[in-house]
Amino acid sequence: MRSVLFYTAARLLIFVATAGVLALFGARGFLLLMLALLISGVVSFVLLSSQRDKVSAAVVTGVRRRHSKFEESRAKEDA
């Protein structure tokens, strides 16, 4: 869970920083948002790849844990 929060905060920080820099260069409104989304997405893809792998592993682990609990509950109910 911690890795998910860190990744989300890092993505948000990169987006805000990108939007700030673009605003300094004169981008406004819809253009600012679209450029900030595009640029921050590319930057995040490059800079946060290892963190993205950690988030993926955490999500898979959580899904497997919930699935096994569901199967255990279903087996108890059937018995």
Residue-wise pLDDT tens for the chain (79 aa)?
A: 788 899 999 999 999 999 999 999 999 999 999 999 999 999 999 999 999 999 999 899 989 988 888 888 888 777 6
Q: What are phi and psi of 26, to 5 degrees?
A: 105, 0
Q: CA Rg, the chain, in Å? A: 19
Number of domains in the chain: 1
* In the block, residue with structure tokens 């569901």: 70
Domain that holds residue 29: 2-78
Give me 74's structure tokens.
Answer: 């279903």
pTM for the full predicted model: 0.77
Residue found under tokens 């600012």: 32
Q: What is the DSSP string of 17-62?
A: HHHHHHHHTT--HHHHHHHHHHHHHHHHHHHTHHHHHHHHHHHHHH
